[in-house]
Structure 1
């Protein structure tokens, strides 16, 4: 027994030593494979890191390019003359950017930066390209003002359509170093921004990166890239191809990866020092060596342990085997079916077959297996796909040694219940032949119906959310962009009318007319601004319509007031006529209706050449909607017209004609899309007819609710003879139709000479006219010339009226001098005509009261109000206006001051409080709440005071620019009695005072 034991012991020692040798050999194999794996892993990490940085830098350059273009656009919009460009304006410009410094280069190369430095950039690339109309980015290692490396983004500066300079934004070397700095595993690496020839444009800050002028200088024929020559490297730079190569620098060697920026002719190179790789490999190898040592020690301990515990170990292994088997069988519960498919012998055998009918045996020929399942697929397309993918040829071809498994998803219909279930099948290779082709596979099938249904539901929800977000974003973008077009039109009118008023300061009537038109345009502009601020409408995409009473003549007159300055600037002819307008008083959204008109007529003015004609015809059509009128507005011009193809897309957003005659015309291409949307909201229609070179006609038809107008007594006008003179027969006939509608007996002639002759003949026959209406601009003898001759024939009390579609203020003084009594604007609406005729022929009609007269006629003497306003200019205006009504007004500069003044005053001292909202110290809401709290004996700081019951009932009126519905509700919630929006409207002020005083 002793000899046998010794022999067994020696045998075990030999086995242990052999095992130790195997472990050591495995360690060296592991070390080699691990080193190779780490190298490959780091190469992929370098490539992925470079690709991410490339996308980031590409986006940064695109954002910087967009920023400099936006900066140029902002600067152009404020530039009235090239001489305004100065270092102060550059400093202001630079404050809006993230660039290190900003410059503007003018013709000749004179360049100013935002610190006031000046130099000449005539020889600089960005100046030459920018003056040529190009935008872009370039690098220099000798910047103009600082002599260092800079990345410069440039774009041309335009003035009146010409390039007058170049705006540049630059990042200096320090900024680029910070931007390019990268750490890999807590060790800083080198990053270079390269030109296509490999030259370094910018770099991160490391010890040796400053010395590298060209990426090819780093090239080193190392072992990992020995098949890459330096010529191949330089060719890759030129062709913009990504490439990895070995490098050697002052701080060591490593791998470098170069990749081109997607949208720019630049490349990014990033290095991966070999020290990182070496360190990782050394740590892994050290861990492996430690493991081998531990294993060796463990083997020595286990040798003795195994001799004593052999039986116990065997029992333990059996127990573990049983446990693993239990885990395997438990895992099988996740799958419905397992089958082994022998592709070589065309057979199958089920290892687990839940849910299979007796129609399919547990084993058999594979083609029968395929046929059985093909008949259960839900649709023909799916059956055809699976029929191909289940063939042995398909499985052998696609389940290669590089493919771990094949994956299928399909739907089956339950033959008994008709329910459709989703299944997920996987094929794993079990055996392969000598050529590596799979000969046997394991098929596992799992029911994934619940998972798939949740996935489909989530996908549909995401699609719905995406569409909703896209629609909301599109609505916001369309609306905001359209505002630039809509705001510009009334603003131009305001600026033009202001200039006219300044030239006629000695002519009160002319200034009054300009101020009236400025007020009209300002109100239109205020309405547009309110829409811009109403973010709820933009987010929802619902630009709803308001319903308010308005008069159609006022809306048309407002349109003409806005558009006339532009029409006159282009020396266009304006023709306006109406036909059969029976209802002038309507209910609708006048601001939206005017937005439609301004867009259409604005386009007519823009695209009609000098000397052309712009026309507007308004007609009331028979209405099929009870309580509503149908109105047709026809806008025509003799402009450049549109092609048939473009007419089909004219209402699509951002669409503009590709025509050299219009490409320089300002616009976003959103106007017509907005017009169609508004017309659709009004349940109307819009139609366009156009022909290249012959002009365009837009026809807008809308329905608007009718409201009762003031019943007027027209008896004094019945049977009175009136003569109309207009060179356009349609306009003369239209005027006569309106005169007949109010009971008068009109006749018309087509020239000034005919008008004089008709008046002379009527006087000789003793059947003269009671009034003469003359068109201002007629060929031959104008309306004013005809009026001069007619006044010599008739008496001074016969009214002579000038009819015009133009601004007659320039000739009003001359017209009055020759005997003209009144002016009427085209188109000739019934209400306006009745007003003028009754004013001239009877004593019933009173002239409309101006806002000034409304104030003077309002007497609130004996009342004292407290005005709370922090803006000194707004306060001064309000004090003057309120003072005209006889009010005694005290002023508080903020809410806290107002509360203190009310508490210090005797009860009843103030009759009303006007309260601004946005104020320092204490805003209007807080002040109103404090006033009401004082009635209960609570001070503004929460302290106890003597109750002031009068402050619980004193009227508090919000006077603020916060004019939306929720602002009104909030004012009411804190105890305010009424709400007035800024700017202050005289009529609303007087109405409010009458209501609360």
Structure 2
């Protein structure tokens, strides 16, 4: 055994030498991973890992891990450990000591934080030792559940390993940093050489180039052509010129045309250059001089910053622009001539365009058009050109209302123009434009060939009489009114039918019950059917009011903090009894909930889902299956999530031809399979309107005889709340222990609700006492000795006195606890206005039903 021990130590040392020889991070990582495997094999441990210290946060991050066979890795689940979670270990590591734990239960009291971490990971024994570099803690190595006898020499070797790893990794980091700096230096040298080549190429455009230090008022010639006037200045020619201001003054006095460039000295003066370059980055200035030796007289001075870290040094280049000036002068002359001609043409066209607001010249042989004038003054005489036949189609589709487009396309057919204008000089047709105005489109002959065939035409459009437009508008309004009356009549007819049918049942079964008072079974049956018909009428009226309020815009979204799983739970309770009566199987599944709370109109979401579930129940035979699936999808780089609900059934399905109209009002499929199923045809229309209000999507998949699946998707903002899994590590122990022993007064008129609250509080060590309404709550608090109650849970809707009035009354009492006792609203009223009413009444917090006991205990802990 001793020889085996020395052999293992030798293998560890040998691997440390391999780590020394690592040339890059990949080799180093591989060598370190091998070292962990050797340590793990020697110690017969389950896991060996390295946690490195993050210098920016102070956390220790899991960077390496080796696991024995059949041992689950932790590196993905436990990414980092905060120093506050390992205070005992941290003190030991900073002293250079290792941590050896033979049995984790022995250290429960001396290192409680570390004990919690170890037991959570099923670690029974542990060896951990620090990683140092120059007396600075850089991390630590841990060995989970080792199976060896402790050896002082082995522990000493592990300490050496920690120090050695710190030195090797730091040395490699410094080496890589040095190599990186060398590469950066080499790139900078290459950039300098490249910039010098670019400068040499660019300077070919300049007759002279100078480097000027504006602070020192010095100038250094970098390039000076012998033909330049500046070359004649004796000091510059001899290379003795040093003063920039003096040189510019001499050049101005001797060569610059003063009348053409009076501001030469001001533009190139030191102060102006400094201020201009600092704001604009460069300066360009043109001037005229007496012709030089080769006859050049127009130049442009361009000034650039030379040292971008300072506004002191600049490069000034002078280049000849005689050709450019000549070109610009010719262009200005031609432009002026064209402008004069265009002005004359524009006057003529402007006069014509008072009648024709759009004019095009069309060459029929070439199928080309040129825009002469349009209704936009910016486009007058633009000469826009293109393919004429394509342009006519574009004008038709852009301006003509759909009902006139077919006729106008025939009128705009340029291939038939020569025939239609063979004996005519002009043809026209009227049409209604998309803006509601009537236009008259006209083709006018411009040119004919020797045979009299039209070769060139004008197309013009003008606004025709206001009277005709009004007449046509009134006709359209009359037609729309007729259609509206027809729709209203159809609506009333369907409503009358849908109300008369159940009303007939109501009146009939009422008569049956009245005429058979002694026949209890028949009376009960009649009353049951009467109740069913009444509920149908109630649902029909509710649906009509809903669809009406949606159409006239009275329905508004009211986003509040909403529990996603709470929606599924509520629906499950609502439909449990109905499904039991119909002998249907239903599954409510709420999964992949990334964020439990969202900002959404929970009531309207439940209304959407309820309508779809009701439809599935109606059209699924007994023994069928219905599934409600609710989950969330992440949206990258967004504060929203997609809330997806899928309602599936094994019902009769929907025919493909009906699926396109299934969300229309008062629309029901004509099918013998559903003749015995009552419905107003409004439920799906309400679903569509509400989903559109939420800017959501509906997807329908259905097969006749197999069933239907409808998917509703809406985007809603999510809310991040603290809980046991998001950082509230001590919730289970600290908050529960703080709240244990509290005694609460619970104002709740519903006995079942109070029983639920009482049971949940009792499970967390909290006792409570019931007040059946708000008035009893006030009386009990008023009569109680100070300190009797640690808080009040207040329902809002109660008989005698509601929760708002009761809270106001308690706050106004002359009782030692009246002003500071916490009052927490526990209510189904979760609208924003309800929350505000609670705050104004003096309540401290607001919780919506169903009650979240974790959230309640968290709130209570703040008032302990």
- Do they superpose with TM above 0.5? no
Give the alignment's TM-score, normalised by structure 1: 0.28
